């Protein structure tokens, strides 16, 4: 393949973003559900592990698509969901707030094309 310049790469990246957006939104949805479960004192181990995995994946992905703030937020969530018992319910407000910010970041990412 012939090397391409930065604008062409950004357009190609946008095509990948559009393709993988449903998967990325699904990860955000897992975090929204987990945050709601923490608030309701009903978080299961399976939900905690799913949230930890989703946060880890988003931390790696979002910054690659130039959403650096998304990576910072996802790392915070990964840390909070990594403990054995999951986040303390007193953190529920923060968890909900981060998940909402992630949703907004993902849905407002602008394309270069």
Q: In a 3-state reduction of DSSP, which class is residue 84?
A: coil
Q: CA-CA distance, 89 to 83, in Å (whole number)?
A: 13
Sole binder of other proteins in the list 9, 40, 45, 111 (CB under 8 A): 9
Q: How far is the CB of 25 from other proteins (least distance, A)?
A: 12
Question: For other proteins, which is the closer residue by CB, 7 or 88?
Answer: 7
Phi, psi at residue 21, to the nearest 5°?
Answer: -55, -45
Q: Which class for 112: exposed (0-12), middle (13-18), buried (19 or more C-beta within 10 A)? A: middle
Sole binder of other proteins in the list 75, 103, 109, 112 (CB under 8 A): 75
> Which residues are at the interface with other proteins (CB under 8 A)?
1-4, 6, 8-9, 12-13, 16, 20, 23-24, 56-57, 59-65, 68, 71, 75
């Amino acid at each position: 393949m012939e090397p391409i310049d930065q604008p062409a790469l950004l357009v190609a990246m946008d095509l990948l973003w559009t393709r993988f957006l449903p998967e990325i939104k699904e990860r955000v949805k897992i975090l929204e559900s987990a945050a709601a479960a923490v608030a309701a004192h009903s978080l299961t181990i399976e939900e905690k592990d799913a949230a930890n995995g989703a946060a880890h994946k988003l931390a790696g992905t979002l910054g690659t698509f130039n959403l650096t703030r998304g990576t910072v937020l996802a790392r915070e969530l990964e840390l909070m969901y990594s403990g054995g018992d999951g986040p303390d319910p007193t953190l529920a407000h923060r968890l909900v707030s981060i998940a909402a910010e992630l949703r907004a970041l993902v849905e407002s990412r602008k394309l270069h094309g």
